[in-house]
Amino acid sequence: MDTDTVGARATSPDDVVRVSCIRHSYEDGTSVHLCGLDFVARRGERTVLLGPNGSGKTTMLYHVLGLLRSREGSVRVFGKDPATEWASIRGRVGVVLQNVDEQLLAPTVLDDVAFTPRQYGLGEPEALARAHAALELLGIDDLAPRVPHNLSGGEKRKVALAGALVMEPDLLVLDEPFEGLDPRSRVELVSLIRTQAREKGVCVIMSTHDIDSVHELADYCYVLKPGGEIALEGTPEQIFAHADDIARSNIRPPILAELFNRLREIDPSTPQAQLDVEKAAAALAAWGRGR
């Protein structure tokens, strides 16, 4: 699959984020060059950045948040440059960064979730009401009086997410959002994020190297190569249909995609790869009966 078989995405009125060919150089001389395809994220869509360690996923997200400023290329969020005009868009953006331990700033869970509304000058009753609503949304209202650093990793992540959702953002940026979550919380969170995108029209950007769940996380994916080039884009099915291109990006394909690809090498009549266990089982069963 060439990078252009799926094609760079055309401009659409639903575009929330567009990043073209940025380069960031660090003090020690190394640089991350996020060129190749434009990175586009749209309203109501979950966009996933996939890539191995060191491919620049976090660097990309930091540019979107205006925490890094690129010397080349352009970054547009709601049509503005986040590095210089952050104040005008920050109320529309919710963020959970990778190390949640460091992200919880306030002394108690309730205070932390109420942090942003208070900073925006909402009255105390409204700030607290919003905080409680966000905690309830995540099903962690009972954690309200607790001190954040005593929580488990999964609980901290949920608190951080409540803090990101409290202002009902239009853009939600999540760096490795499922790390440290037990399977049940994970399923809950995946469904919560889907609801945010589908029903509230939130634009969600996530980074992950959890390949096996990409099909349930993503509406659209970007695959980064080591060193930072955006190598592939497309829906999960499009991306994982071609194992060779994926392997070149140092990414192990989802176990089901790998299974279908191996089967196809043995028997070309193998059906189209399915990334969902239920669908894969049904497809393989039907194929088996057909033989």
Partner 1 sequence: MDVGAIDRSATLGTGPLRSADPRSKLVALALVLGAVLVSWNALVLASFTIALLAASVWGRLPVGLAIRLAAYPAVFALVFAFASAPDAMTASVIVLKATTAALGAVTVVLSTPYPQVFAPLQRITPGIVGDAMLMTYRSLFILLEKFSNLLRAARLRAGLAGKNPVRSARVVFSALGGLMLYAVDLAQRDYDIMRVRGYEGRLRTTPAGSTNRLADVTILVGSLVMLATSVVWRSAATTLNPYSWLAPLPALAALGLTFALRRG
Partner 2 sequence: MSHLHIPDGVLPVWLWVAGWVATLAAVTVAGRVAERVDVRRRVPLLAVVSALMLVAMSSEIVPIAYHINLTVVGGVLLGPALSIIASFIVEVVLALLGHGGITVLGLNTLIIAGEMVLGWALFRGLVNLAGRSRVRLIAFVATVVTLAVTTTALVGIVAIGGSGATARESGALDPATLRFDNPFSRGVFSLGLFSGGEDHGHAEREQHTVEAVEDEQGPDETGLSVGRFAAVIYTLGPIGWAIEALLTAWLLGYVAQVRPGLIWGGHWQRSGGRMPGDEGTVN
Report the SS3 class of residue 64: helix
Residue 243 neighbours by CB distance under 10 Å = 19
DSSP class per residue in 76-136: EETTB-HHHHHHHHGGGEEEE-S-HHHH--SSSHHHHHTHHHHHTT--HHHHHHHHHHHHH
Residues numbered 20-79 forming contacts with partner 1, rule: CB under 8 A: 62, 65, 67
Name which of 196 and 207 has its Cβ closer to partner 2: 207
Name which of 26 and 120 has its Cβ closer to partner 2: 26
- Interface characters, 158-197, with partner 2 (x: CB under 8 A): -----------------xx---------------------
Return all residues near 144 (Cβ < 8 A) that are at least 6 apart.
108, 109, 110, 131, 132, 135
**Residue 59: contacted member of partner 1, partner 2, none (CB under 5 to 8 Å, by partner type):** partner 2
Burial of 6 (0-12, 13-18, 19+ CB in 10 A): middle
Name which of 77 and 232 has its Cβ closer to partner 1: 77
Q: What is the DSSP letter of 158?
A: H
Nearest approach in angstroms of CB 249 to partner 1 is 27
**Residue 149: contacted member of partner 1, partner 2, none (CB under 5 to 8 Å, by partner type):** partner 1
Residues numbered 148-187 forming contacts with partner 1, rule: CB under 8 A: 148-150, 163
Element (H, E) at 173: strand 171-175
Number of residues that bind partner 1 (CB under 8 A): 34
Binding to partner 2 by residue 44, rule CB under 8 A? no
Give the interface segment with partner 1, choosing from 44-52, 132-140, 145-153, 177-185 (CB under 8 A): 145-153
Beta bridge partners of 40: 18
**Residue 261: contacted member of partner 1, partner 2, none (CB under 5 to 8 Å, by partner type):** none
- On the CB side of 74, CA atoms within 13 Å amount to 9
Beta bridge partners of 50: 208, 223
Binding to partner 1 by residue 119, rule CB under 8 A? yes
Q: Candidates 110, 174, 197, 241: give the one binding partner 1 (CB under 8 A).
A: 110
Binding to partner 2 by residue 226, rule CB under 8 A? yes
Exposure string of 118-130, with b = 16+ CB inside 10 Å and e = fewer, is beeebeeeebbeb
Residues numbered 257-286 forming contacts with partner 1, rule: CB under 8 A: none
CA 181 to CA 153: how far, in whole Å?
A: 7
Give the interface segment with partner 1, choosing from 46-54, 99-107, 191-199, 227-235 (CB under 8 A): 99-107
Nearest approach in angstroms of CB 51 to partner 2 is 10
Residues numbered 228-257 forming contacts with partner 2, rule: CB under 8 A: 228
CA 190 to CA 29: how far, in whole Å?
A: 38
Residues numbered 18-37 forming contacts with partner 2, rule: CB under 8 A: 26-32
Burial of 218 (0-12, 13-18, 19+ CB in 10 A): buried
* Binding positions for partner 1, rule: CB under 8 A: 62, 65, 67, 86, 90-91, 93, 95, 97, 99, 101-108, 110-111, 114-116, 118-120, 128, 145-150, 163
* Binding positions for partner 2, rule: CB under 8 A: 26-32, 52-59, 62, 68, 97-99, 175-176, 207, 226-228
